[in-house]
Structure 1
Amino acid sequence: MSVKDGYKFEDLSLGMSYETHHVITEKDIELFAEVSGDRNPLHMDEEYASKTNFGQRIAHGALTASYISGILGNNLPGPGSIFTGLSMRFRRPVYIGSEVTVRVEVTEMQERGNRVTLKVSCIVDGKAAISGEAQVMVPSRDA
């Protein structure tokens, strides 16, 4: 399989997984705010954030979750797959400078429609910041 082509449905199996690592930076926060339009002071203003229960600025939850989309579109299943659903919970804040381990794992495969369910998680300091599941449609070899 080439990275350009992605996995085909027939090449996937239960338990297959992929993991990436990212450090959340100030620039990530600024760029995500620009693209999303989300300029909540909890993300952008240190003085404001210092007075909240978080004590400091936190990353946008959707920024952290976007790394899941990166894996699904680029790695597992990869190019050619279509992201059809995501159910997740934000369990704890992610701070600037945090290293986030993002992991997806194939947990269910349905031949009809080439549908695949993957467990997804974003882990910081050994604890889940985000957990949930994603659904994708994956092309078959003869498509």
Structure 2
Amino acid sequence: MKELAYADMNVGDSASLSKTVTESDILSFAGLTMDFNPVHVNAEYAKESIFKERIAHGMLSAGFISAVLGTTLPGPNAIYLGQELKFTAPVKIGDTVTATATIIEKKDEKRILKLKTVVTNQRGEVVVDGNAVIKKIGL
């Protein structure tokens, strides 16, 4: 994992990561967070929901944003200060989601970055939309 220097980051820079969501991902996330909402973990219950099948936790999808921010852009030595999220569509088992972060603002005096954050599925549908605020320390 390479650390980017703050000075080398520019408005418009973007990075993405993709992941296919598995049943194991959903069950692991439920166990880690203690969120056993049956729409995530109970197929029979989920069949009767508006989704008609189990869906991933919204925060699991949002976690992929954190992965981009912490590993790629801005990467190591980035401190997550805040995140606005809007969940716009469900993520189902087998969906491949892509989290993308794009720098939309730089505040040099405090080394703060504002990034547009979006998660899309394999059909290009936005499933999570928002903005993140990051403070870059280090380089």
Deviation at 1:30, TM superposition (A): 0.9
Say yes or no: does 1:108 pair with 2:105: yes
Match for residue 39 of structure 2?
Answer: 42
Residues matched between the structures, number = 138
Instruction: For residue 53 of structure 2, give the secondary structure of its aligned residue in structure 1.
Output: coil
Give the share of equivalent positions with the same residue, in percent: 35
**1:94-128 CA deviation, whole Å, 9 max, x = no partner?**
10100101111010000121000000000011110
Report the TM-score when normalising by structure 2. Answer: 0.96
Could you tell me how far apart the structure 2 residues matched to 1:69 and 1:19 are? 11
RMSD over aligned Cα, in angstroms?
0.9
Aligned to 1:10, the other structure's residue is in SS state: helix
* Residue 7 (structure 2) pairs with residue 10 (structure 1): yes
Q: 2:19 aligns with which of 19, 22, 27?
A: 22
CA offsets 1:1-55 (integer angstroms, 9 cap, x no match): xx24x21211100110001111000000011011000000000000000001100
Does the 8 Å contact 2:18/2:97 carry over to 1?
A: yes
Partner of 1:136: 134
2:49 corresponds to: 52
Q: Is 1:73–2:70 an aligned residue pair?
A: yes
C-alpha contact 2:77 2:138 (8 A) present in aligned 1: no
* Cα separation, partners in 2 of 1:17 and 1:105, compared to 1, 3 Å: same
SS in 2 for 1:133: strand
CA contact (8 A) 1:10 1:140 kept: no
TM-aligned CA deviation for residue 139 of structure 1: 2.2
Report how far residue 88 of structure 1 moved: 1.1
